[in-house]
């Protein structure tokens, strides 16, 4: 396959559960490499993944994965990709080695090859020593690693992982993130991972897709977005309000929290405009530094632009109950939950 081909493409992809529209006319193109699928609870991340794998039927629209039609070639798609589902897909009574071997056999691998690949895959995810233990005795981290081994058994070119670090402690989470990163960098494989942990996405991925309420909220390269959203942070002593007004009058984008302000760094001379405004209004700037937005900040600013009152992604994503509170304003068709 040509390197710059898109591995996943969808056109007007729509999925409704009865009257509920979970995916709303999605037009997406996912490039090679690692892509993070972000969005709050109920955004449609898992539905999107299941739809492109042909596991659930689309309501409208179409798409391809590795050039295969998601409506008619689901079997072929699933044999070429590795899928790590969100739910616990493992049999607690099975030894990990046999669970992984079995998932290879389900993909049509010959049992001997499946078994030898299962050893390799478990070794790769860090479970070499524990591979003969039953899954019921495993920690959450070990279960997630087993799910990843199942997804890697046939050495797929694309790994689709739904919340791979969900419920993991720091050590297990770091290990999972490193394994995924290695798979992309050393293994030269593509990864599409759904996550609500900005940090994980930032560590593994170059690209991101942000879904909200089944719609595409933003998409692009993480690097480009971060460069775009550069800000200068200043700490002001005396005259903060006057300075804020003066800068806004000069056309600068200002976000203020008390004496700390962040000014969008959109033009070369932003710093000198800030200094001139401060001199004009007699405000003292105590500290000034360039501030590069984290993915977390970007997520918040995108959500804010969409009209959502969000404190942090942790708040937003901590629990479905909380996510429902952060609903769309009424004028945008929300407020129903």
Return residues touching ligand ATP (CB under 6 A): 17, 20, 22, 39, 41-47, 86, 196
* Alpha helices, DSSP H, located in 33-95: 45-52, 74-80
Tell me which of ligand ATP, Mg ion, none is bound by residue 132, counting a contact when its beta carbon lies within the kind-specific cut-off of 5 to 8 angstroms: none
Among Mg ion, ligand ATP, none, partner that 122 touches (CB below 5 to 8 angstroms by kind): none
Q: Which stretch binds Mg ion (CB under 5 A): 39-47, 148-156, 168-176, 262-270?
A: 39-47
Selected range binding Mg ion among 37-45, 172-180, 202-210, 272-280, rule: CB under 5 A: 37-45
The residues, any chain, with a CB within 8 Å of residue 265's CB and separated by 6 or more, are 230, 231, 232, 290
Report the distance separating Cα 292 and Cα 313, nearest Å.
Answer: 18
> What residue ranges in 175-300 does DSSP mark as E strands?
190-194, 207-212, 215-221, 231-237, 254-257, 260-264, 284-291
Q: Which residues contact 294 (CB under 8 A, 6 or more apart)?
A: 198, 202
CB 15, CB 22: distance < 8 Å: yes
Tell me the C-alpha distance between 111 and 330, whole Å.
56
Which stretch, 46-54, 65-73, 166-174, 217-225, contacts Mg ion (CB under 5 A)? 46-54
Does 51 participate in binding Mg ion (rule CB under 5 A)?
no
Give the per-residue contact string, 141-180, with Mg ion (x = CB under 5 A; - = no). Answer: ----------------------------------------
Torsion of CA 208, 212, 217, 218, to 10 degrees: -10
At 214 the three-state DSSP class reads: coil
Residue 331 contact, options Mg ion, ligand ATP, none, Cβ 5-8 Å cut-off depending on partner type: none
Stretch of residues binding Mg ion (CB under 5 A), selected from 6-14, 38-46, 199-207, 282-290: 38-46
The Cα–Cα gap between 278 and 180 comes to 48
Exactly one of 46, 99, 179, 270 binds Mg ion (CB under 5 A); that residue is 46
CB of 25 to ligand ATP, least distance (A): 15
CB of 295 to ligand ATP, least distance (A): 16
Output 144 or 270, the one with its CB closest to ligand ATP.
Answer: 144
- Kindly state the DSSP code that residue 221 receives in the 8-state scheme: E
DSSP letter, residue 252? -
**Which one, 3 or 20, has the nearer CB to ligand ATP?**
20
Q: How far is the CB of 135 from ligand ATP (least distance, A)?
A: 22
Shortest approach of Mg ion to residue 86 CB, angstroms?
5
């Amino acid at each position: 396959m040509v390197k710059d081909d898109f591995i996943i493409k969808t056109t007007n992809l729509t999925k409704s559960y009865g009257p509920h529209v979970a995916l709303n006319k999605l037009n997406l193109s996912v490039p090679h490499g690692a892509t993070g699928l972000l969005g709050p609870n109920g955004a449609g991340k898992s539905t999107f993944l299941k739809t492109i794998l042909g596991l659930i039927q689309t309501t409208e629209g179409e798409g391809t994965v590795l050039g295969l039609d998601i409506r008619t070639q689901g079997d072929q798609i699933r044999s070429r990709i590795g899928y790590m589902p969100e739910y616990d897909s493992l049999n607690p009574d099975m030894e990990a080695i046999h669970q992984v071997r079995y998932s290879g056999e389900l993909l049509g691998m010959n049992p001997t090859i499946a078994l030898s690949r299962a050893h390799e895959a478990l070794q790769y995810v860090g479970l070499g020593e524990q591979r003969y233990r039953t899954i019921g005795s495993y920690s959450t981290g070990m279960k997630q690693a087993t799910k990843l081994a199942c997804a890697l058994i046939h050495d797929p070119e694309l790994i689709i992982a739904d919340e791979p670090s969900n419920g993991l402690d720091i050590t297990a989470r770091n290990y999972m993130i490193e394994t995924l990163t290695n798979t992309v960098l050393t293994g030269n494989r593509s990864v599409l991972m759904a996550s609500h942990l900005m940090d994980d996405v930032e560590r593994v991925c170059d690209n991101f897709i942000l879904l909200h309420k089944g719609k595409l909220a933003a998409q692009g390269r993480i690097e480009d977005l971060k460069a775009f959203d550069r800000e200068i942070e200043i700490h002001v002593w005396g005259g903060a309000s006057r300075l804020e007004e003066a800068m806004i009058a000069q056309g600068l984008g200002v976000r203020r929290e008390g004496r700390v302000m962040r000014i969008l760094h959109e033009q070369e001379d932003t710093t000198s405009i800030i200094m001139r405004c401060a001199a004009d209004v007699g405000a003292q700037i105590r500290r000034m530094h360039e501030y590069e937005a984290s993915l977390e900040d970007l997520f918040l600013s995108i959500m804010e632009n969409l009209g959502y009152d969000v404190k942090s992604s942790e708040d937003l994503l901590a629990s479905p109950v909380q996510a429902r509170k952060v609903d769309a304003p009424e004028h945008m068709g929300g407020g129903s939950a």
